[in-house]
Amino acid sequence: PPAVTALDVTKVYGSGDAAVHALRGVSVEFARGAFTAIMGPSGSGKSTLMHCLAGLDTIGGGRVLLGDVEITGMSDRRLTLLRRDRVGFVFQAFNLLPTLTAEQNILLPSQLAGRAPDRAWFDQVIDVVGLRDRLKHRPGELSGGQQQRVACARALVARPEVIFADEPTGNLDSASGAEVLSFLRASVREMGQTIVMVTHDPVAASYADRVVFLRDGLIVSELHEPTPGTVL
């Protein structure tokens, strides 16, 4: 099955006259080992869709599956476990703990989950992300791009089935953003990672294999294999 499947997903915030129909019947599949960008204007439902796909938010109607596991109607407790075991997140704010080193930040989720980190895999991730000489540094001693690469490495080391990235380059200058995007693409190409990235930046989206466009809570078009560097 695809890594993530949405079937006719709807989401309404509020009710009556104040109701906002954030998603109005979204059906989309995200293949394993693919890097997909979700684009659309502000307010088109990108964040809402990502939150619904990741089990961070409940949906009004339709179905969401992670792999072959239906998450629709799952209890909060089961959802929390499922996210911990199968899903990784990268946000606009890097969300690193300032008192821990880069290495400690990267290994924290495995430790919290009570899993011994796989050292060979850790080494592979660190080499792809290019952080070997920064592992003992604290976030305050790293550039924004390096901090976001630490956050990406933290998501990858846990070997999630899918990584959801919400505007991962939103706080970065274009050179640092390009570093992070190259690394995300490398994790797809070299490690088979599945990534779903929300962005309003066409340059960021051009790193993806596929771009899905949202407008007013509906998918309105799709583009496959945009060439990196093209402005969509």
Strand order in the sheet with 195-198: 87-90, 162-166, 195-198, 35-39, 210-215, 218-224
Under rule CB under 6 A, residue 47 binds ligand ADP? yes
In whole angstroms, the minimum distance from the beta carbon of 212 to ligand ADP comes to 12
Contact between 13 and ligand ADP (CB under 6 A)? yes
CB 105 within 8 A of CB 125: no
- From residue 176 to residue 215, the character string flagging contacts with ligand ADP as x (rule: CB under 6 A) and all else as - is ----------------------------------------
Residue ranges of E strands in 40-152 = 61-66, 69-70, 87-90
Is 169 among the residues that bind ligand ADP (CB under 6 A)? no
By CB under 6 A, residue 43 contacts ligand ADP: yes
Which range of residues in 37-45, 58-66, 116-124, 174-182 is near ligand ADP by CB under 6 A?
Answer: 37-45
User: Could you say whether residue 22 binds ligand ADP (CB under 6 A)?
Assistant: yes
220 makes contact with ligand ADP (CB under 6 A): no
Alpha-carbon distance 212 to 225, whole Å? 11
Residue 50: C-alpha distances to residues 57, 87, 99, 208, 214 (Å)? 9, 12, 30, 16, 12
Query: Are the C-beta atoms of 211 and 226 separated by less than 8 Å?
Result: yes
Cα 90 → chain centroid: 5
Minimal distance, residue 33 CB to ligand ADP, in Å: 25
Q: Which of 5, 46, 176, 177 binds ligand ADP (CB under 6 A)?
A: 46
Q: Which of 1, 8, 19, 20 binds ligand ADP (CB under 6 A)?
A: 20
Distance of alpha carbon 110 from alpha carbon 22, whole angstroms = 34
The residue within the footprint of ligand ADP, chosen from 48, 146, 147, 148 (CB under 6 A), is: 48
Stretch that binds ligand ADP, among 43-51, 125-133, 134-142, 220-228 (CB under 6 A): 43-51
For residue 200, the SS3 value is coil
Regarding 148 and contact with ligand ADP (CB under 6 A), the answer is no
Q: Verify binding: residue 44, ligand ADP, rule CB under 6 A.
A: yes
Q: List the end-to-end C-alpha distance of the chain, in Å, as a whole number.
A: 30
**What gap in Å lies between CA 179 and CA 227, rounded to an integer?**
17
Q: By CB under 6 A, is residue 168 in contact with ligand ADP?
A: no
Chain centroid to CA 5: how far? 15
Binding residues for ligand ADP, how many (CB under 6 A)?
A: 13
Q: Which of 34, 45, 142, 180 binds ligand ADP (CB under 6 A)?
A: 45
Using CB under 6 A, list all residues that contact ligand ADP: 13-14, 20, 22, 40, 42-48, 166
